[in-house]
Structures are given as C-alpha cells and as structure tokens.
Chains A and B, each alone.
Chain A
Amino acid sequence: AQSVAQPEDQVNVAEGNPLTVKCTYSVSGNPYLFWYVQYPNRGLQFLLKYITGDNLVKGSYGFEAEFNKSQTSFHLKKPSALVSDSALYFCAVRFQSGGYQKVTFGIGTKLQVIP
C-alpha cells in the first residue's frame, strides 16, 4: 500500500537549535512528496514538495527537506528553530491509483519549540 509514516508523535527542540521532523514513505514508482504545516484550528498550509531533481528542496519559512531514495525518507529540516514554528507537521505522498491522483497524509508530528 502507498503510505507515509511519521515515527515521532512529538519533537521538542530549543529555540535556535536545528530541527528535524522525520518522514518515511512506501510508494511504488517515483514518489511526489510534500510537507504541510497546520496551526491550531487552521487548515493545512503547503511548505514544500519533491518531484524530481535535486534531493534537497527548499520551502517556505526557511524549511527544507532532503529526499533520500535509498532510505525512502523525506525528513523536514530547519537550521535554526523559532518559537513560531511550533505547530503540527504532516508529510504526504501523491501517487497514481486507478488512473487518478491520490494524496495520502501521515498522522502528523507536533513540533514544540522551547524558548
């Protein structure tokens, strides 16, 4: 089955430190991978995506993600965390199924940046 896994329910990091939010995927063929962020009582906002090409993709708010095909991972990273980065982060994969494009989300990782 096509899926993504986010192994950590919560990640705590001190403000100013680098952060990593993990995501692994299971998709046949070439994956289209995404990260979204959700603030309390809000909809999801797109951060970045990997389609093809450079394994390191840069996105909004200083976030970046590294695609690793051998490890089937797409971890989200930021060099220096801000308190305002505290939110729920979702990894997602887009794949072809039955002739249609489907998007499946992970269960989310809560990021807590501690002042």
Chain B
Amino acid sequence: DTGVSQNPRHKITKRGQNVTFRCDPISEHNRLYWYRQTLGQGPEFLTYFQNEAQLEKSRLLSDRFSAERPKGSFSTLEIQRTEQGDSAMYLCASSLGSSGGAGELFFGEGSRLTVL
C-alpha cells in the first residue's frame, strides 16, 4: 500500500507527557498537511509544509505543538506537556501541487490521542 501512513494509530498518555506522531506521505507528494479532528467536527487545519518548508501554522497550534518535515519526506508532530483538551484525532494528508494547483488531499488513517 503506497498511501499516507500514520503512526501510532492510537496513543494513550497521561497529562503532562510528551507525544510524537509520524506521517509518511505518498512519496511524490510535495505538500503535507496536519489537521485535528474532534467528535462531531470537521478537520481543523493545524499546519502545512511544501517540501521541507513549514509555510503556515494555525493559531490553534500553540507553543506546545511543533511539526517538522526534514528533507521534505516524512513529518512529525510533537505535542509537549499534553493536556486533556489535546485529545483528538490527528490527521495527516498529502497532495501533489504547484502554484495555483487544485490537487485533492490524500489522508492517512489518523492518530487518535487520548490524554488521561
């Protein structure tokens, strides 16, 4: 399967601990997105990479959140000092895009975070 891969699929942690999620996009895709989804809501934009450059971060992404995409390949999303409000599904998506392009997003299965 050459789709978007996310790990781990489910993470249970205690409040105050750090967690890291990994996303492996479709190999030829230059754009990578992180979204957060809570029950009954649509995906909320967190951050966006074009190749290795992080081009935009949502105001939802507090200082406790950091994302990287070294060498423009896989990406990691780290949450430090987790809070119960961080409990959500974290979705990664990738797309092949150029300036003005309208390529659709390909999503991974998501990483569900539960903070106790």
For chain B, residues 46 to 76, give those with C-beta under 8 angstroms from any C-beta of chain A: 48, 50, 55-56
Cβ < 8 Å to B, chain A residues 77-111: 90, 94, 96, 98, 100-108
Interface residues in B, total, Cβ within 8 A: 28
Interchain CA distance A106-B41 in the complex, whole Å: 8
| Contact call B41/A104, Cβ cutoff below 8 A | no
Cross-interface CB contact of A43 among B40, B42, B50, B107, cutoff 8 Å: B107
In the complex, B85 has a CB within 8 A of chain A: no
Among the listed A43, A46, A49, which residue makes an inter-chain contact with B91, where contact means beta carbons less than 8 Å apart?
A43
Residues in A whose Cβ lies below 8 Å from that of B83: none
- Find chain A residues with CB under 8 A from B108 CB: 43
Whether B105 sits at the interface, judged by CB under 8 Å, is yes
- Other-chain residue from A43, A49, A104 in contact with B102 (beta carbon distance below 8 A): A49
Answer whether residue B109 sits at the interface, using C-beta atoms and an 8 A cutoff.
yes
A103 to B32, CA, bound (A): 12
Report how far A34 CA is from B43 CA in the complex, Å.
14
A56 within 8 Å of B by Cβ?
no
Which residues of B have CB within 8 Å of A51? 102
Cross-chain contact A107 with B56 (CB below 8 angstroms): no
- Looking at the assembled complex, report how far the CB atom of A95 sits from the nearest CB atom of chain B, in whole angstroms: 10
> Considering the chains assembled together, what is the distance between the CA atoms of A104 and B105 in angstroms?
12
Given contacts A43-B91, A102-B56, A104-B45, contact A49 B40 (CB under 8 A): no
For B35, the chain A residues whose CB sits under 8 A away are: 105
Which of B43, B106, B107, B110 has most chain A Cβ within 10 Å?
Answer: B43
3 A-B pairs with least C-beta separation: A43-B107, A105-B42, A32-B102
Give me the interface of B with A, judged by CB distance under 8 Å.
4, 6, 31, 33, 35, 40-45, 48, 50, 55-56, 91, 93, 97, 100-102, 104-110
